[in-house]
Amino acid sequence: MRASDVSDEAPLIVLVAGEPSGDNLGAALIEGLRARIPNARFAGIPGPRMRAAGCEAWMQSDELAVMGLIDVLRELPRLLRIRRLLIERVLRERPAIYVGVDYKEFNLGVAKRLKAAGLRTVQYVSPQVWAWRQGRVYTIARAVDAVLCLFPFEKTFYEQRLPPHTLDARFVGHPLAEQIPERIDTAMARSALQLDVQRPCVALLPGSRRGEATRLSDDFIATAKWLLTRRPELQFVAPMASPGVKSIFVAALERAGMTEQVRLIDGQAQTAMAASDVVLLASGTATLEAALVKRPMVVAYRTGWFTAFLMRDLKMMKARFFSLPNVLTDRLLVPEFFNEQVNAETLGPAVLAQFDRPDRERLIAEFAAVHRALNSPAGGSAADVVSELVLRGAHADAK
């Protein structure tokens, strides 16, 4: 059954993404929905890939890009204004469904208002309720009709804490696991990026947001400099997630006198990882991407002092690890470093150890197991849930 079978009017689906990872998910979701509801219209706050997939931009996703509690507090008046304007427009347009794609705090706040007004709402990517503030499961249940989980243990987490039929929590897999092939040719990736096929390579990924890049760029570049004093044959490639991140990283390269030693590229993070022997990167979705590309990695996470105080001193962080490969396997599979540990003297030896680790083949096998576990047809499964809710609403309206 398609939406057009219920109503001649093209259903409007509103999607909001605030970060590059959400933009990728949103674009795949739009493609999946278009196959199921050919006459659907898409609008909201998209990133560039969602716009290319046909999502009308009411505002741009980079208007939402902030990181850390201090950054959020500083930008709060502007974010509240964007939220108010968005809610007003959604209530005026009365779409078939509202889909928050990642960017959880913003989207759940919007969804709660919309659901109270009788609209159907979905959160695509569960907040990390298993890591901290676990009581949020009840807030999420009040805000959305369904939450689409990228990892299988998240669905179980909801089911164990909520009464039956309180919230439709679905494991839909991770689209990266479907998109990334199980085997990748390193030499081909190096050739594509015009790197020396014979020289060992380290990929530097300081994050997709300006706040991450500001906090990590200097130390990542200092680490590259440290590594060159021990292994001068190394080459470095740094994929830049956005022009804003690039400007921050370039300034850090200039301060360190390293502009000639690091090859910068725009985007192409997967290709850069595939070209590398080891990846040094910011904590986040990129760590999962590196695992699916089967690359050893060193993970860094630096926050503002207040977030660190909440996570560490007040022990609000419930998970044992913060990098996704370690979370998914529930053990220290890859080295991860937090705040004051993020410096060249710590990161440099950790990167060298990844080159020389005797269990490299076992690590790659672990990554392959993660790949298989997450390789549900994610875009299709997410689209199945959203289209199901759209059609359910269309049937109800037709009665």
Can you tell me the distance from the alpha carbon of 158 to that of 125, in angstroms, rounded to the nearest whole number? Answer: 13
How far, in Å, CA of 287 to CA of 359, rounded?
19
Q: Which CATH number fits domain 3-173+376-398: 3.10.20.90, 3.30.1330.10, 3.40.640.10, 3.40.50.2000?
A: 3.40.50.2000
pLDDT at 190: 97
Residue 78, SS3 per DSSP:
helix
**pLDDT tens, residue by residue, 380-389:** 689 999 999 9
Reported in sequence order, the residue ranges of 134-275 that DSSP labels E, i.e. its strands, are: 146-149, 168-171, 201-205, 235-240, 262-266
Give the span between the Cα atoms of 99 and 387, in whole angstroms. Answer: 11
Count the Cβ atoms, other than its own, within 10 Å of residue 26.
30
pTM across the whole model: 0.76
Q: What is the number of helices (H) and of strands (E) in the chain?
A: 18, 13
Tell me what pLDDT residue 394 has.
59
pLDDT of 2: 46
**Percent residues over pLDDT 90 in the chain:** 63
Domains 3-173+376-398 and 186-374 share a fold: yes
What is the sign of the dihedral through the CA atoms of 156, 162, 163 and 164?
Answer: negative
Strand partners, 57: 44
pLDDT of 377 reads 61
For the chain, list residues with pLDDT below 50. Answer: 1-7, 69, 313-314, 316
Q: Which tokens is 89 given? A: 């427009």
Secondary structure (DSSP) of 227-245: HHHH-TT-EEEEEESSHHH
Please state, rounded to an integer, the average pLDDT across all residues of the chain.
88
Residue 314 has what pLDDT? 41
Query: By three-state DSSP, how is residue 378 classified?
Result: helix
Name the CATH architecture for the domain at 186-374: 3-Layer(aba) Sandwich (3.40)
Looking at residue 287, its pLDDT comes to 95
What are the extents of the domains in the chain? 3-173+376-398, 186-374
Instruction: Give per-residue pLDDT as tens, 82-128.
Output: 999 999 999 999 999 999 998 888 999 999 999 999 999 999 999 87
Which pLDDT belongs to residue 3?
44
**pLDDT on residue 73:** 64
Alpha carbon of residue 148 to chain centroid: 14
